[in-house]
Structure 1
Amino acid sequence: MNIEDLLRETLSDMADEERPPAPDRFLRLRERRPRRRGLALVAATAVAAMVVGSTLVVQQISAPAPGDTVPRPAASLQAGATVNVAAGMRLSQLFEELSRLTGRPVAEFERAAKDGTALGLPSYAGRRLEGFAFPGTYEFSPTASPAEILRPMVARFEEAAEAAGLADGARRAGRTPLEIVTIASIVQAEAGRDEDMAKISRVIYNRLNRKMRLAVDSTVLYGLNKYGVEATLKDVRSPSPYNTYRRRGLPPGPIGSPGAEAIRAALHPARGTWLYYVVTDPKKRVTKFATTESERMALIEEYRKNLKGR
């Protein structure tokens, strides 16, 4: 009996002994006494089993010994896929990456994102996924549905929100949970370093409290589906609801996926009277803060000198 026959019989035995798990779960092999006819199989290779739909896919996970000519299992082996959701990543970027990995159209992920109940979105998200696909690395089967791929990202957001005390913290700050996530997303987009996040958060709160426009480039660019560091004069004249140069208050919702540090900063802004911040050295990601217009102009001059010095 060759190794392929052994493999086929062993899988048949496994199917008789256990009911397969739900399609979106991995089947972890438990240690058990190998049967005599499966002994050669166990000695030759380690086997991982995964349920994909109604098909049990078997993958060899240890290389054969040098000189071993035992053939690998079926040529149709299916490997899992991995996607990294970076802090600050927009849904449009995430969907393009998932489309590349799975071969599914972007439109399928866009449709899945609208079903807040299926994804487990918190009620305050307003059935909108932007801001709630938590940063991290996720593994999934290429045959998983868009909802099955996105759901763990929302679940991880919920864990981070609970750890940060987001709901209670929002009440203490006099804000809704959605407003906190929106502030966190702006902080994530604007901060070059984690240590600046709480200060940038304070600038946002101070400007909101004074009924000042936020005048944040990242929100303007998001509303125009553009990328970059600075908005142009044409950009800041746009009628987009995300144009915080023209509209007072926060934009309608998050502009990306904030990480845990940005959420903490939104809930616990630093103490200070700052109303402005300027990235004085983009290369080193140095951000400095100002309270008055004259202080702000001095920081802008420092920024220009740093540009000339490069």
Structure 2
Amino acid sequence: MPRQAPPEQPPARPQPRRPRHAPADPEPHGRRPGDLRGGPPPERRPRPPARRRRSPNDGVPPDENPTEILDLGFDDEADEYEDDHESYEDYDEDYDEDRAEPQYFDGDDDEEPPRTRRRHGKRLFGWLAALLVLALLAGGAYYGARELLGFGYEDYPGPGERDVLLHVEDGDSTGAIAAKLQELDVVASSEAFVAASEDDQRVLSVQPGYYVLKTRMSGAGAVGKLVEPTSRVGQMQLRAGTQLDDVTQPDGSVTPGVFAQLSAASCADLNGKSTCVPVEELRRVAETADLAELGVPEWAIEGAERAEPRRRIEGLVAPGVYDVQPGWDAKRLLTEVLTTSATRMQAAGLPDAAGSTGYTPYEILIIASLVEREAVQQDFDKVARVIYNRLEAGQRLQFDSTVNYVLDRPEVRTNDHDRLRAGPYNTYQNTGLPPTPISAPSAEAITAAEEPADGAWMYFVKCETNGLSCFADDYSEHQQNVADARRRGVF
């Protein structure tokens, strides 16, 4: 009999490859219990249901007309993907053992991790903030102690020693005044004066001018002395209508003229010595000194030189406040006031505005002085027109103010005897303007002389108790105004 071949053996199943670092099988041939050849496959653990997110449409009733959804075939692919991939929970625990250990790459050993740098930055900021707070506290403590205890600046303790003049100029601040006081050795330091002035607001009202203080004063003492009214010296306040010489009033009182007021302004008692310049010295310099050197404007020199010496600067000292330094001589005093006056008259329009009037700037100044003495301000332009009309008609001005000027009397009215006096200032006897101004005209009077009102008036007379005048075109009307004023007791 033919020999039967042995039954065919199925091919051997390859042994599963053990993971690289897996532990040895507890059973021979690497099989787990129950993992027999041909045995049933291991039972697959059920996949936990996927957790469903809450939809914003939960609880919303279904739409009766739902929008038709087009099937693009993506759902099937998603299902296949889910079947082929197990969830995170299905991974074998051995997977974690196969993962490589995390490795760290060495960098610059000196570089700190970001978190450490942030921590150090916060710490540094905290130290800086603490130092700033300490500095502020220290500064506040120093300032408070300086205010309470008076340290932090030098200060003299005494009331002062020698007299000294302080010149406060226009625009000087408290700090500027303090610096000048320190330079004059009035105070030991400017800080001493500034600190003391903070408690006395009167310092803010100190006006430009000259003040007598003492050297080596305390800051508080210097403040108190500066604000005393008697400390200011060298001030002259000249009113409009003032003339060079004194004027005797009807009651016998005397109104000081320019020379007397300037002499008084020059006076101060400095360390027991008087600085007063006598009136006679001022008058002598005014009569003999070169007018240009004294500060007389060029446009006024020719007219002033024709006048008699004692009256040649009449009307050239404009009204206003003047500050002169005690100790100046007569020439320096006159130069100061005449130079300042020229600036003020220029601001009033002289000499330029005189060009359209037909009169020289000096003649305009003379007209303005007559207006100032003959009328109140409301009538300035009308009186100026009367002057213009009379001069153009060749008629005498017949002003009582010019007659009284040489008599040093302020009265407007004159008597027959006065009007018969001969002299260049008697406008009852002479035609035209007097040779010089008869007073210091104001800026308003100068403006009226430059721009007189329109009118045909030839006469005027004071007819109201407030000084207003009544104006007339002819002599008959003027006589009626005079009679009416007398009847009402105006003059």
Shorter-chain TM-score bucket reads 0.7 to 0.9
Which residue in the other structure is 2:263 paired with?
A: 99
CA distance in 2, matches of 1:39, 1:124: 46
Please point out which of 414, 419, 442 is paired with 1:259.
442
How far has the Cα of 1:182 moved from its partner?
0.3
CA distance in 2, matches of 1:133, 1:112: 15
Structure 1 residues 1-310: aligned runs within 5 Å: 3=156, 30=176, 38=189, 41-42=192-193, 45=196, 58=215, 64=221, 79-92=232-245, 93-101=257-265, 102=267, 103-114=276-287, 115=289, 116-125=291-300, 126-127=304-305, 128-192=312-376, 194-281=377-464, 283-307=465-489
Conservation of the 8 A alpha-carbon contact between 2:155 and 2:189: no
Letter in 2 for 1:178: Y
Cα displacement string for residues 202-226 of structure 1 (whole angstroms, at most 9, x for unaligned residues)? 0001000000000001111112333
Conservation of the 8 A alpha-carbon contact between 2:241 and 2:442: yes
Seen in structure 2, the aligned counterparts of structure 1 residues 156 and 40 have a Cα distance that, compared at 3 Å, is closer
Q: Name the SS of the counterpart of 1:234 in structure 2.
A: helix
Letter in 1 for 2:262: L
> Could you tell which deviates more after superposition, 96-105 or 223-232?
96-105
How far has the Cα of 1:231 moved from its partner?
1.5
CA distance in 2, matches of 1:108, 1:56: 28
CA distance in 1, matches of 2:294, 2:217: 33
CA distance in 1, matches of 2:357, 2:196: 58
How far has the Cα of 1:96 moved from its partner?
1.8
Cα displacement string for residues 143-186 of structure 1 (whole angstroms, at most 9, x for unaligned residues)? 22233333343233322332333223322211111110000000
Q: Which one has the largest radius of gyration?
A: 2
Conservation of the 8 A alpha-carbon contact between 1:277 and 1:287: yes
Unaligned runs of 5+ in 2: 1-153, 183-187, 198-202, 246-256, 268-275, 306-311
Taking only aligned residues, the RMSD between alpha carbons, in angstroms, comes to: 3.9
CA distance in 1, matches of 2:406, 2:430: 12
Seen in structure 2, the aligned counterparts of structure 1 residues 285 and 60 have a Cα distance that, compared at 3 Å, is farther
How far has the Cα of 1:277 moved from its partner?
0.5
CA distance in 1, matches of 2:261, 2:191: 41
How far has the Cα of 1:140 moved from its partner?
2.2
CA distance in 2, matches of 1:62, 1:90: 43
Letter in 2 for 1:182: I
CA distance in 1, matches of 2:411, 2:168: 40
Which residue in the other structure is 1:14 paired with?
A: none
CA distance in 1, matches of 2:335, 2:454: 36
How far has the Cα of 1:40 moved from its partner?
7.8
Q: Normalized against structure 1, the TM-score is what?
A: 0.77
CA distance in 1, matches of 2:466, 2:209: 48
> Could you tell which deviates more after superposition, 229-238 or 160-169?
160-169
Conservation of the 8 A alpha-carbon contact between 1:81 and 1:139: yes
Conservation of the 8 A alpha-carbon contact between 1:224 and 1:240: no
How far has the Cα of 1:98 moved from its partner?
2.8
> Could you tell which deviates more after superposition, 89-98 or 174-183?
89-98
Q: Which has the higher contact order (CA 8 A, sep 6+)?
A: 1
Using the aligned pairs only, state the percent identity: 33
CA distance in 2, matches of 1:2, 1:160: 43
How far has the Cα of 1:189 moved from its partner?
0.5
Conservation of the 8 A alpha-carbon contact between 1:132 and 1:153: no
Unaligned runs of 5+ in 1: 12-22, 66-70
Seen in structure 2, the aligned counterparts of structure 1 residues 261 and 99 have a Cα distance that, compared at 3 Å, is same
How far has the Cα of 1:81 moved from its partner?
2.7
How far has the Cα of 1:59 moved from its partner?
9.3
> Could you tell which deviates more after superposition, 143-152 or 80-89?
143-152
Q: Normalized against structure 2, the TM-score is what?
A: 0.50
How far has the Cα of 1:57 moved from its partner?
6.1
CA distance in 2, matches of 1:264, 1:213: 23
> Could you tell which deviates more after superposition, 92-101 or 272-281?
92-101
Conservation of the 8 A alpha-carbon contact between 1:290 and 1:296: yes
Cα displacement string for residues 91-144 of structure 1 (whole angstroms, at most 9, x for unaligned residues)? 111212233443332111112323322321012322532111110112223222
CA distance in 1, matches of 2:326, 2:189: 30
CA distance in 2, matches of 1:306, 1:299: 11
